[in-house]
A and B are shown apart, each in its own frame.
Chain A
Amino acid sequence: MLFNSLDFAIFLPIVFLLYWFIMQRNLRLQNAFIVIASYVFYGWWDWRFLSLLLFSSLVDYFVGLGLQKEQRPQQRKILLVLSIICNLGLLGFFKYYNFFVDSFAEAFSFFGMPIQTNSLNIILPVGISFYTFQSLSYGIDVYRRKLEPTHDVISFLAFVSFFPQLVAGPIERATHLLPQFYTKRHFDYARAVDGMRQILWGLFKKMVIADNCAQFVDTIFNGSATFSGSTLLLGAFLFALQIYGDFSGYSDIAIGTSRLFGFDLQRNFAFPYFSRDIAEFWRRWHISLSTWFRDYLYVPLGGSRGSKARVVKNTFITFLLSGFWHGANWKFIAWGALHAIYFLPLLLLNKNRSHLGNVAPGRIFPTAKEFTGILITFLLTVLAWIFFRANDINHAGNIFSGIFSSSLFTIPEVLPRKLLLLITFALIVEWLGRENLYAIERSGLKWPRYARRGFYYFLLLLIFFEGGREQPFIYFQF
């Protein structure tokens, strides 16, 4: 079920009303209802894959209980490995099986030993990368004794399957979300209104920015051989905005929806395109995944301790795996590698933590230095996104050679004027709201009520009239 679909527009009010009017009296009932609603939400796409969701959840639930009982280190390690094998096994089979088989076959034939392989026609279950990581983090946290395992299976199932963030995150930590299922939720008017506001902004970013960009991006990338360098660069620029609008829009809707039900999810985006360097970008982009890799991969590898060579190695491994997480294709690995290369100079010069706060705090305009940093960082990310959007590595290579040609200095063949105007509007709103949790969190709160409402109606009008053709969320495929 897509957030931007009629199905969800019907589903959400029904679940909301039942949740607050019928289920509110009893906590277990409320949690059980969330599980049912979440399974309906997921099963709407394909009910057969509910078993995977249930399996992944139950494995970690029982592993958690086992870890609590078991005190012997060796046995505890076995339980943890069991959890890792089950979760990554699911992910490996459904997402990476064909990639590995095909890559092995290609490698063997490269060395003159062609082998016969059988690729399988495997459907990738929506959201599998998200919920397996979420479930996995629970097992690891319990193993590390950072978290007491839950004995309440309903709460645990609700934690793993919570529908607002089930299929595309934010990837929640059990330490943050699970305790919220232990306490009774009370309806909070201010929180619900804030949630609605965040949903509105998320829908705007998704339907007005991302979906409209998608049409131009598809045209440009699908016909990349026929377009000039300037058009290809414009295509990459539009894709950067598409993926931001799409994914951060999804996260806003997810967080806003959760607030309607009395839950707080962690922040997933913090205005990443206003970052002054790549390190800052990665503290602001897909925060729940970056921190997941930091806590469960980078730090266990040694993190920033040890020699420079080791830190560089750890950084590369983390970025490469982060790229690989996005999909079974070399292009994602190349995307991760490119970001690691971007990151390297900052790491070697110990400047990777230079920009921890907001850009231009308390000011309307950034300084020239800040502006230059933002521009360079944005351009670097735009170039990296080419790997992400291209069909494969070769396609990306062709696009790069198209961009870095003399035709880069010509007028683009495709010039979406109206879309550029909408993007400018969105960027201004985002810039003005960059010190908040999301762009319009505090927009117009000091205005007269009619003006504030007028602003919301204006956004609604844009969503209604300028919303692009309904597109699935990009991150559903990961």
Chain B
Amino acid sequence: MIRKFLYALLRFSILPLLALVLLELDITIHKKGLLSEKKLEKIFQNSGTTYRWVTQVRHTNKVLLLGSSSIKYGLSCTLLNKLSNDSLSFINLAADARDPVETYFILKHTDLTNVTKVYYGIDPWIFVKTYYKNRNSYLYLDMDLMTAGRYSLEHDPQFFPKRYKALFNSWVSTSTLNASTGQPIPPDFGSATLDKVPTNFDDPVHKKFQLEKYGWSNLQFEYLQKIVQLCNSKTISFIAFYPPRRSDFITDYHQNCAAIHIAFLEKLKATGFSTPIIGSHDQLRSYGDGIFADAYHLNGKGQKIYSPVFLLK
């Protein structure tokens, strides 16, 4: 009887197992196509439409700030504009956990008329696959089955449902551009002050990489380079920079991430990125740790200190 039961269970399981095998085969065989610019554009194009308000900023010398949360909260556009005597008009397009892939499609779908400079804040840990859990789950298609299994166990129990949903999305998704217009210009032109303790930043920085398990995300390097190329094609100057960090971050980074950082720079070089990166993590060291909300983000006071320092550089 028990054998009959196990046999029945096996027969019942064959169909779902077969479906999973086919889905994984599809991902493996068509990975390149699934992660092509055309496919990714469908996923991320609406991100760009959320910045339609950039058109409404009337200035002949617009400067875009790009990157993740450390840029969003680290710099105040209003303050920067004031410090430049309104000769420049800063616009902050950075957002929490934002990566080069999404940033590229934002730039592509944003009106770049009168944009003369783009500043990109570099966070090396965003260029690793471990970081995918903070990003659009479509990027889960960028992992082989073994890595996916491990990632599912260690980082996201919902990994496989999200991965297959992303795959289905790629089959059926059509261009449904969010056509909203007339968005108001946000206060401080997209910059914000950090008024709560950020989440997802409890781990020390070296634990964010886990390169030995999941490796670098080639997609992120590739799309950073695409950002540079897009800027070049529109004669916009591209400048990369390191935002400031708290002393415990700097110590951890120096002690545990030196080799990783060298590898990061080599990867940048290998993808054709030749722009020098200005600034350093310890540029605000003399102000102490009180200007940081956590190891990665400046607080309101820090934002006021960093903005003029940034402009001078």
Contact = CB atoms under 8 A, between A and B. Distances in A.
B8 A193 contact: yes
Contacts of B313: none
Interface in A1-51: 6, 20-21
Given A187-B5, A189-B1, A465-B164, A460 B16 contact: yes
A464 interface: yes
A464 B162 CA distance: 10
A219 to B, nearest CB: 15
Contacts, number: 31
Contacts of B4: 189
A453 B5 contact: no
B64 to A, nearest CB: 33
A469 B15 contact: no
Contacts of B8: 193
Contacts of A189: 1-2, 4-5
B12 A453 contact: yes
Contacts of A196: 9
B5 A193 contact: yes
Nearest to B161: A465
Contacts of A193: 5, 8
Interface in B1-56: 1-2, 4-5, 8-9, 12, 15-16
B30 to A, nearest CB: 21
A456 B158 CA distance: 21
B1 A457 contact: no
B270 interface: no
A192 B158 CA distance: 29
A257 to B, nearest CB: 14
A187 B1 contact: yes
Interface string B228-265: 00000000000000000000000000000000000000
B23 to A, nearest CB: 11
Interface string A434-478: 000000000000000000010011001000110101100000000
Contacts of A469: 157-158
Contacts of B161: 464-465, 467
B153 interface: yes
Contacts of A21: 2
A6 B153 contact: yes
B155 to A, nearest CB: 13
A302 B157 CA distance: 51
A413 interface: no
Contacts of B213: none
A188 interface: yes
Interface of B is mostly: helix
Contacts of B157: 6, 469-470
B12 A20 contact: no
Contacts of A192: 5
B165 A457 contact: no
Contacts of B164: 465
Nearest to B162: A465
A470 B156 CA distance: 10
A204 to B, nearest CB: 15
B15 to A, nearest CB: 7
A470 B153 CA distance: 12
Given A453-B12, A469-B158, A188 B165 contact: no
B16 A188 contact: no
Interface in B160-185: 160-161, 164-165
Contacts of A470: 157
Nearest to B9: A196
Nearest to A470: B157
Interface in A370-396: none
B56 to A, nearest CB: 28
Nearest to B153: A6
Interface in A180-201: 187-189, 192-193, 196
A127 to B, nearest CB: 23
Nearest to A465: B161
A189 B16 CA distance: 22
A192 B2 CA distance: 9
A218 to B, nearest CB: 14
Nearest to A4: B157
Given A465-B164, A467-B161, A469-B158, A20 B2 contact: yes
A465 B2 CA distance: 31
Contacts of A465: 161, 164-165
A188 B153 contact: no
A453 B4 CA distance: 17
Contacts of A6: 153, 157
B10 to A, nearest CB: 12
Nearest to A469: B158
A470 B12 CA distance: 25
A187 B2 contact: yes
Contacts of B153: 6
Nearest to B160: A464
B120 to A, nearest CB: 33
A465 B4 CA distance: 30
B133 to A, nearest CB: 12
Contacts of A187: 1-2, 5
A469 B12 CA distance: 26
Contacts of A20: 2
Contacts of B2: 20-21, 187, 189
B141 to A, nearest CB: 16
21 contacts: A6-B153, A6-B157, A20-B2, A21-B2, A187-B1, A187-B2, A189-B1, A189-B2, A189-B4, A193-B8, A196-B9, A453-B12, A457-B16, A460-B16, A464-B160, A464-B161, A465-B161, A465-B165, A469-B157, A469-B158, A470-B157
Give 6 closest A-B pairs by Cβ, nearest first: A187-B2, A189-B1, A187-B1, A465-B161, A20-B2, A192-B5
Given A189-B4, A456-B12, 4 more contacts: A187-B1, A188-B1, A464-B161, A469-B157
